[in-house]
């Protein structure tokens, strides 16, 4: 027993040493790799003792291969780098700094060099103890020229006038850049010919650009009332630029003092108080219960159930609703009253029954009959507003309903249209914009056989997605779209029949020979901006192709049509970009299709051939080419780039010197000139001239 | 001094000084009344009104000194008073120009009156220069 206890003690001692050994680790740099983009960088050496030596070595990278890190590099080779080691608690802080500072890294005048880094190096920081390496820190240096530091002054001098006398926004009604704002006479973008059109209807007052209060004391004031006899002599004839209320916005606290005096004639503005229900374009239409709402598509694409209807904004929305969700508690159309000027408008409601529910309902189950538990759903709602001036005169509502089973599951497609008609729009065809196309409006087209009004179409399948039951919807300007349907193909059809059938389906979408260039092209005049539709690769229906193949395969079946529409911005009207169509191209794509049977080819079975159509709008930008970097401006006489400015030496005759306001320059020059003249006159130069003249006459 | 039998004073200049004196008195009184009118009826800031009235008083001082020295210099045939009058014509013209162009509210009546004052200044300046030339030439001989 006595011999065992020293052995166990020895084992415990060995075990304790083994446990304590991993706690004393090697020193390590945190972080171990640094990407340096500023002139100074710091790292921490953790786990080292006091006698650790830190050194810095620039590495020479050869073909992207890092050399084996060696320890104990010579300190003399640090070059332009400065290494600082400062002891902290339980660690050493290592700082690497670039010695030359920022001035060494100044960009050149040419812009092409400022993109390249001016310092690209790799540094190795090593920690060693008694000539043995302990840790390494790799620093990748990439320092770019700092242009914001060296460019102290901007070369584009923006002269901001004194706000007291010239507000920064001297024309408050100038709301559109590079476009003439109508009735804004202080807008500098308005041409004189255009300004003459609305010169008598300019915005008056402060928001029309007249920052000074209007005064009827001016001689130029066009007074409508009778003026007193002394008015021609006591009227103010100084220009408005000397008004004491310049900078009315700037001071704010200054207000004109309209104290009543004898024989003061002030304008009495009779304000007309219009009715509350006067509508402007875009105003929401009001009913007796609040807003008049119809489901409309939002910008995100989903349908908003309670979107207000805007005055004079026609729309056509298609919404998909879940049949399991109960319809919203909508107002009964007969009880609705539209609020307008001069009273209320009672709408005229017409109901119709919808047929062919296969086109409307998409259901995983079969469509149940509505016999046992009927339920009415709204399929389509069409609203026609008739308006005059700023009021609504009548509203016609057409509701198309359908009876379905109350337990029917699936989704249903609903359509809502709102149209605004005026008494002047009797039988005219609708515009898609005036003159440019508006986004979301149908692309206007016509067929020269009979000059039929038509448009390009896409499918809108419902139910089982068959082509026979698919409806057509127009191609809308600016909206890329893609749609398709399924064509039933019988087993007895040969390839020629199939191709003819498919082409007939696809031609239904593009029954047009011409497309309108603008939104308001005249249908009766082909020379009024109508473009011929370019048809590419319309394949012949089996002229060179075999009737059928042994395996039931049909090559060259045109199953896809692509409509490409080139658009461009052709100018702007009142700041609105006007888009027009430059060209339209339709192109067919063919596939090799094979009839797919099941285990056995049955006679009455039919396979499905997918057809598709897509529309793509390609915008051609109208931009001026940007000037290249090789265009050098002549800057010898540019006063902002040279130290010597020749025109400034002619001060105060020229206006190049801007150190003082120009009136002060002229005043000082004139004072100097007057002093010079005074000095000349006080010396009596004519006395000398008389003496010289008299002496000359004496000599003669 | 000038010889006793020679009279070098300028009669047109003396006539202009006389008329200018009476005209300026009328101008000063009328301007005070006009400032009263403008202060009551027009939206006149108080600072601008005080500035204009104070400058009118300064103008009165300049004009009185100018006319006095001009008359004395012309009648006594002395160059120094006439030179002072010539020097004071420029600030006087500046004051008239201020009231013609740079005033806060320039009435049409004020424009007419200040134009007449500027005409007086121009004419007197021309005649004073001629009179100074006459005095200098006679002094030498």
Domains of chain A plus CATH, in order, are 28-64+71-101+116-143 (2.60.40.2020), 283-421 (no CATH), 462-541+552-597+604-619 (no CATH), 630-693 (no CATH)
Burial A129-145 (b: 16+ CB within 10 A, else e): beeeebbbbbbebebeb
* pLDDT, average across residues A88-106: 65
Indicate whether B15 belongs to any domain: no
Distance from CA of A242 to the nearest CA of B (A): 6
Which span out of A133-147, A457-471, B53-67 was modeled with the highest average pLDDT? B53-67
Radius of gyration of chain B, Cα coordinates, nearest whole angstrom: 18
Question: What does the pLDDT look like over A569-625, one tens digit per residue?
Answer: 787 766 667 878 889 888 888 888 876 766 666 666 677 888 889 988 888 876 556
Distance from CA of B93 to the nearest CA of A (A): 14
Flag whether pLDDT at B67 surpasses 80: yes
The answer to whether the CB atoms of B103 and A242 lie below 8 A apart is: yes
Q: Point out the least confidently predicted range of A124-133, A367-376, A587-596, B108-117.
A: A367-376
The answer to whether the CB atoms of A686 and B104 lie below 8 A apart is: no
Question: What does the pLDDT look like over A435-455, one tens digit per residue?
Answer: 788 778 788 788 777 666 777
Residue B130: list chain A partners with CB under 8 A.
Answer: none
Q: What local confidence, expressed as pLDDT, does residue A70 receive? A: 57
Query: B105 vs A6, which has greater pLDDT?
Result: B105
Flag whether pLDDT at A14 surpasses 60: no
Residue A254: list chain B partners with CB under 8 A.
Answer: 45
Question: What does the pLDDT look like over A22-79, one tens digit per residue?
Answer: 444 567 777 776 766 667 776 777 766 556 677 777 765 554 555 555 555 544 445 6
* pLDDT, average across residues B60-88: 91
Given CB atoms, is B115 within the 8 Å cutoff of chain A? no
CA distance B93 to B99: 10
Q: Point out the least confidently predicted range of A99-113, A219-233, A354-368, A614-628.
A: A99-113
Q: What local confidence, expressed as pLDDT, does residue A183 receive? A: 75
Q: What local confidence, expressed as pLDDT, does residue A620 receive? A: 82
Q: What local confidence, expressed as pLDDT, does residue A266 receive? A: 37
The answer to whether the CB atoms of B106 and A237 lie below 8 A apart is: yes
The answer to whether the CB atoms of A690 and B137 lie below 8 A apart is: yes
Distance from CA of A257 to the nearest CA of B (A): 5
In DSSP notation, B64-106 reads: HHHHHHHHHHHHHT-HHHHHHHHHHHHHHHHHHHIIIIISSS-
Q: What local confidence, expressed as pLDDT, does residue A3 receive? A: 40
Give the torsion through C-alpha atoms of A459, A465, A469, A472, to 10 deg.
Answer: -10
Given CB atoms, is B103 within the 8 Å cutoff of chain A? yes
Indicate whether B8 belongs to any domain: no
Flag whether pLDDT at B25 surpasses 90: yes
Query: Which residue of B48, B102, B108 is in closest CB contact with A237?
Result: B108
Q: What local confidence, expressed as pLDDT, does residue B69 receive? A: 93
CA distance A517 to A435: 10
Residue B91: list chain A partners with CB under 8 A.
Answer: none
Residue B111: list chain A partners with CB under 8 A.
Answer: 237
* Two tokens, residue A348: 């005229």
The answer to whether the CB atoms of B41 and A217 lie below 8 A apart is: yes
* pLDDT, average across residues A379-392: 81
Tell which residue, A423, A419, A425, A412, has the closest CA to residue A398: A419
Indicate whether B1 belongs to any domain: no
Indicate whether B6 belongs to any domain: no
Q: What local confidence, expressed as pLDDT, does residue A536 receive? A: 77
The answer to whether the CB atoms of B108 and A232 lie below 8 A apart is: yes
Q: Point out the least confidently predicted range of A128-132, A225-229, A324-328.
A: A324-328
The answer to whether the CB atoms of A256 and B37 lie below 8 A apart is: no
Return the residue in A218, A220, A236 with the most chain B beta carbons within 10 A, the one to mutate for interface testing.
A236
**Cβ–Cβ pairs < 8 A, chains A and B:** 63
Q: What local confidence, expressed as pLDDT, does residue A537 receive? A: 60
Q: How confident is the model at residue B116 (pLDDT cuts 50, 70, 90)?
A: very high
Residue A232: list chain B partners with CB under 8 A.
Answer: 108
The answer to whether the CB atoms of A244 and B104 lie below 8 A apart is: yes
What is the DSSP-derived secondary structure letter of residue A158? Answer: -
Burial A644-662 (b: 16+ CB within 10 A, else e): eeeeeeeebeeeebeeeee
At a CB cut-off of 8 Å and minimum separation 6, what does B89 contact? Answer: B66, B121, B124, B125, B128
Q: Point out the least confidently predicted range of A98-102, A148-152, A172-176, A398-402.
A: A148-152
Which span out of A123-137, A182-196, A372-386, B109-123 was modeled with the highest average pLDDT? B109-123
The answer to whether the CB atoms of B106 and A217 lie below 8 A apart is: no
Q: Point out the least confidently predicted range of A153-157, A460-464, A601-605.
A: A153-157
The answer to whether the CB atoms of A238 and B48 lie below 8 A apart is: no
Tell which residue, A242, A14, A244, A37, has the closest CA to residue A141: A37
CA distance A488 to A465: 11
* pLDDT, average across residues A528-546: 67
* Two tokens, residue A228: 């007193």
SS3 A695: helix
Task: Catalogue the E-assigned strands of A595-628.
Answer: 606-620
**What is the number of structural domains in chain B?**
1
The answer to whether the CB atoms of B107 and A256 lie below 8 A apart is: no
Distance from CA of A209 to the nearest CA of B (A): 20
Indicate whether B113 belongs to any domain: yes
Q: How confident is the model at residue A379 (pLDDT cuts 50, 70, 90)?
A: confident
Q: How confident is the model at residue A275 (pLDDT cuts 50, 70, 90)?
A: very low
Q: What local confidence, expressed as pLDDT, does residue A16 receive? A: 47
Residue B137: list chain A partners with CB under 8 A.
Answer: 686, 690
Q: What local confidence, expressed as pLDDT, does residue A621 receive? A: 77
Query: B46 vs A523, which has greater pLDDT?
Result: B46
* pLDDT, average across residues B34-61: 88
Q: Point out the least confidently predicted range of A159-163, A177-181, A262-266, A469-473.
A: A262-266
Residue A234: list chain B partners with CB under 8 A.
Answer: 34, 37, 107-109
Given CB atoms, is B3 within the 8 Å cutoff of chain A? no
- What is the rounded average pLDDT for all residues in chain B? 87
The angle, 0 to 180 degrees and rounded to 10, between the axes of the packed helices B108-140 and A685-699 is 40
Q: What local confidence, expressed as pLDDT, does residue A542 receive? A: 52
Return the residue in B43, B52, B87 with the most chain A beta carbons within 10 A, the one to mutate for interface testing.
B43
Q: What local confidence, expressed as pLDDT, does residue A111 receive? A: 43
Query: A404 vs A533, which has greater pLDDT?
Result: A533
Report how far apart the first and last C-alpha atoms of chain B are (Å, whole number): 11
Distance from CA of A690 to the nearest CA of B (A): 9
The residue segments making up the domain with residue B136 are 23-140
Residue A215: list chain B partners with CB under 8 A.
Answer: 42-43
Identify the closest residue of chain B to A219 by CA–CA distance.
B108
Flag whether pLDDT at A359 surpasses 50: yes
Q: Are A333 and A380 in contact (CB under 8 A)?
A: no
Indicate whether B73 belongs to any domain: yes
Q: Point out the least confidently predicted range of A75-79, A148-152, A502-506, A610-614.
A: A148-152
Indicate whether B7 belongs to any domain: no
Query: A413 vs B3, which has greater pLDDT?
Result: A413
Indicate whether B72 belongs to any domain: yes
Q: What percent of chain B stands above pLDDT 70?
A: 92
Flag whether pLDDT at B96 surpasses 90: yes
Query: A419 vs A483, which has greater pLDDT?
Result: A483
* pLDDT, average across residues A398-404: 80
Q: What local confidence, expressed as pLDDT, does residue B73 receive? A: 93
The answer to whether the CB atoms of A213 and B133 lie below 8 A apart is: no
Task: Catalogue the E-assigned strands of A475-552.
Answer: 481-490, 514-516, 530-532, 534-536
Distance from CA of A100 to the nearest CA of B (A): 59
SS3 A46: strand
CA distance A277 to A311: 12
Query: A500 vs B84, which has greater pLDDT?
Result: B84
The answer to whether the CB atoms of A236 and B106 lie below 8 A apart is: yes
Q: How confident is the model at residue B79 (pLDDT cuts 50, 70, 90)?
A: confident
Residue A663: list chain B partners with CB under 8 A.
Answer: none
Tell which residue, A436, A390, A442, A679, has the closest CA to residue A578: A436
SS3 A580: strand
- What is the rounded average pLDDT for all residues in chain A? 69
Tell which residue, B52, B66, B69, has the closest CA to residue B120: B66
Flag whether pLDDT at A10 surpasses 80: no
CB half-sphere exposure, A567, CA atoms < 13 A: 25
At a CB cut-off of 8 Å and minimum separation 6, what does A26 contact? Answer: A47, A134, A135
Return the residue in B33, B39, B40, B42 with the most chain A beta carbons within 10 A, the one to mutate for interface testing.
B42
Burial A460-482 (b: 16+ CB within 10 A, else e): ebbbbebbebbeebbbbbeeeee
Q: Point out the least confidently predicted range of A215-229, B75-89, B98-112.
A: A215-229
Given CB atoms, is B104 within the 8 Å cutoff of chain A? yes
* pLDDT, average across residues A345-369: 71
Q: Point out the least confidently predicted range of A205-219, A302-316, B78-92.
A: A205-219
Return the residue in B46, B105, B128, B139 with the most chain A beta carbons within 10 A, the one to mutate for interface testing.
B105
Query: A471 vs A264, which has greater pLDDT?
Result: A471
Q: What local confidence, expressed as pLDDT, does residue B59 receive? A: 94
In DSSP notation, A425-453 reads: -SSPPPPSSSSSBPTTSBPEEEETTTTEE
Residue B104: list chain A partners with CB under 8 A.
Answer: 238, 242-244
Given CB atoms, is B51 within the 8 Å cutoff of chain A? no
CA distance B9 to B71: 10
């Amino acid at each position: 027993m006595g011999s065992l206890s020293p052995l166990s003690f020895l084992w415990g001692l060995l075990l304790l040493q083994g446990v304590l050994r991993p706690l004393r680790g090697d020193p390590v740099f945190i972080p171990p790799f640094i990407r340096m983009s500023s002139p100074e960088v710091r790292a921490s050496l953790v786990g080292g003792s006091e006698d650790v030596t830190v050194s810095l070595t620039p590495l020479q990278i050869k073909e992207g291969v890092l050399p084996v890190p060696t320890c104990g590099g010579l300190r003399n080779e640090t070059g332009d780098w400065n290494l600082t080691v400062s002891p902290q608690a339980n660690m050493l802080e290592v700082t690497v700094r670039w010695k030359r500072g920022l001035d060494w890294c100044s960009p050149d005048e040419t812009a092409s060099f400022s993109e390249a880094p001016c310092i690209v190096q790799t540094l190795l920081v090593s920690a060693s103890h008694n000539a043995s390496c302990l840790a390494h820190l790799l620093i990748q240096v990439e320092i770019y020229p700092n242009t914001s530091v060296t460019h102290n002054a901007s070369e584009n001098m923006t002269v901001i006038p004194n706000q007291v006398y010239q507000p920064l926004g001297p024309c408050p009604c100038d709301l559109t850049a590079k476009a003439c704002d109508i009735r804004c006479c202080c807008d500098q973008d308005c041409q004189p010919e255009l300004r003459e059109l609305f010169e008598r209807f300019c915005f008056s007052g402060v928001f029309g650009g007249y920052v000074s209060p209007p005064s009827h004391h001016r001689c130029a004031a066009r007074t409508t009332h009778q003026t007193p006899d002394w008015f021609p002599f006591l009227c103010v004839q100084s220009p408005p630029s000397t008004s004491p209320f310049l900078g009315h916005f700037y001071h704010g606290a200054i207000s004109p003092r309209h104290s009543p005096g004898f024989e003061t004639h002030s304008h009495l503005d009779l304000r007309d108080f219009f009715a509350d229900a006067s509508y402007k374009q875009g105003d929401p239409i009001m009913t007796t219960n609040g807003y008049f709402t119809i489901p409309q598509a939002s910008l995100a694409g989903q349908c908003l159930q309670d979107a207000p209807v805007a005055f004079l904004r026609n729309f056509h929305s298609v919404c998909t609703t879940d049949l399991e969700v109960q319809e919203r508690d909508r107002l009964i159309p007969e009880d609705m009253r539209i609020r307008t000027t001069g009273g209320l408008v009672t709408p005229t409601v017409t109901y119709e029954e919808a047929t062919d529910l296969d086109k409307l309902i998409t259901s995983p189950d079969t469509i149940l009959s509505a016999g046992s538990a009927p339920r009415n759903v709204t399929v389509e709602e069409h609203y026609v507003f008739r308006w005059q001036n700023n009021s609504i005169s009548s509203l016609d509502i057409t509701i198309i309903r359908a009876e379905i089973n109350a337990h029917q599951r699936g989704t249903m497609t609903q359509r809502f249209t709102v149209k605004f008609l005026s008494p002047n729009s009797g039988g005219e065809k609708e515009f898609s914009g005036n003159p440019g196309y508006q986004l979301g409006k149908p692309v206007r087209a016509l067929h020269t056989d009979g000059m039929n009004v038509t448009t390009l179409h896409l499918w809108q399948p419902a139910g089982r997605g068959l082509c026979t039951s698919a409806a057509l919807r127009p191609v809308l300007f600016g909206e890329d779209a893609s749609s398709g349907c399924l064509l039933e193909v019988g087993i007895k059809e040969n390839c020629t029949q199939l191709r003819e059938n498919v082409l007939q389906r696809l031609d239904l979408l593009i029954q047009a020979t011409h497309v309108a260039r603008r939104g308001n092209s005249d249908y009766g005049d082909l020379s009024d901006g109508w473009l011929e539709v370019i048809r590419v690769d319309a394949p012949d229906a089996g002229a060179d192709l075999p009737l059928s193949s042994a395996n039931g395969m049909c090559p060259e079946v045109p199953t896809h049509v692509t409509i490409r529409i080139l658009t461009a911005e052709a100018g702007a009207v009142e700041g609105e970009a006007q888009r027009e169509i430059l060209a339209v191209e339709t192109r067919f794509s063919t596939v090799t299709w094979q009839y797919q049977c099941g285990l056995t080819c049955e006679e009455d079975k039919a396979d499905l051939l997918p057809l598709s159509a897509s529309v793509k709008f390609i915008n051609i930008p109208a931009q001026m080419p940007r000037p290249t970097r090789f265009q050098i401006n002549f800057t010898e006489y540019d006063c902002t780039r040279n130290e010597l400015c020749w025109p400034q030496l002619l001060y105060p005759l020229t206006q190049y010197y801007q150190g003082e306001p120009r009136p002060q320059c002229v005043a000082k020059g004139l004072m100097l000139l007057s002093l010079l003249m005074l000095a000349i006159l006080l010396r009596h130069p004519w006395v000398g001239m008389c003496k010289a003249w008299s002496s000359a006459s004496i000599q003669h | 001094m000038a010889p006793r039998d020679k009279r070098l004073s300028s009669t047109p200049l003396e006539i202009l000084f006389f008329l200018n004196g009476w005209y300026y008195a009328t101008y000063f009184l009328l301007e005070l009344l006009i400032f009263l009118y403008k202060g009551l009826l027009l939206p006149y800031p108080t600072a601008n009104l005080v500035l204009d009235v104070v400058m009118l008083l300064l103008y009165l001082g300049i004009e009185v000194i100018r006319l006095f020295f001009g008359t004395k210099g012309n009648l006594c045939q002395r160059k120094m008073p006439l030179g002072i009058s010539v020097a004071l014509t420029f600030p006087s013209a500046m004051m008239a120009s201020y009231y013609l162009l740079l005033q806060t509210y320039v009435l049409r009546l004020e424009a007419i009156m200040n134009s007449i004052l500027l005409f007086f200044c121009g004419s007197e300046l021309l005649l004073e220069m001629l009179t100074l030339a006459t005095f200098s030439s006679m002094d030498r001989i």
